[in-house]
Amino acid sequence: PAGTYELVITAAGRVNAVMSGVPVLTTAVTTLGDPTARINTPASAASHAASGTITANASVVDTGGAVRALQSFTGGPSVEVGSANALADDGRYTLTLPAGAPVRLPYAAAATSFPWVADAPRAGLYKLEATATGFATPKSADITLSAPVTQDFAFP
């Protein structure tokens, strides 16, 4: 739908990036830069796994569970940067996320470069939000990803 959006860019080995204020019209194509410009987000010095188990009514089997990773920028926005389904046989999930500082910049029509600005205080900070079939209220946990993190979620 027409509106103004936050474009979230993620890639293995790269920090999470957000381009804010991207205009979308129903009558035109939104171009993110000059045809010679390339979106190239900074490399992340490290990435780590956030993993764990989702249980529903004390069972790990067929929970229909899923986890999404959210990252907030100083002063907003908060964006989804990854997700994983729990395995049907043992309830395990794993997300690999960058530990580096996320970056952002405002949309600029016909940009010839993308001068990303790092949000250093938000490096490695995530909120994991889990859901399971049959439970209306998600569970969440704030994590700091400076090393691998285990975060389990139990529903009733």
> Would you put residue 36 in left (φ > 0), alpha (ψ -120 to 50) or beta?
alpha
pLDDT at 19: 97
Q: How confident is the model at residue 127 (pLDDT cuts 50, 70, 90)?
A: very high
Tokens 């949309």 label which residue?
107
pLDDT at 101: 98
pLDDT digits (tens, 9 = 90+) for 40-99: 999 999 999 999 999 999 999 999 999 999 999 999 999 999 999 999 999 999 999 999
Closest CA to 118 of 98, 145, 142, 100: 100
CA distance 111 to 33: 4
CA distance 65 to 133: 6
Residue 128 predicted with pLDDT over 90: yes
SS3 call for 121:
helix
DSSP 87-134: PTTT-EEEEEEE-SPPEEEE--TT-S----EE-GGGTTEEEEEEE-TT
pLDDT digits (tens, 9 = 90+) for 8-54: 999 999 999 999 999 999 999 998 988 888 899 999 999 999 999 99
Q: How confident is the model at residue 147 (pLDDT cuts 50, 70, 90)?
A: very high
pLDDT at 35: 84
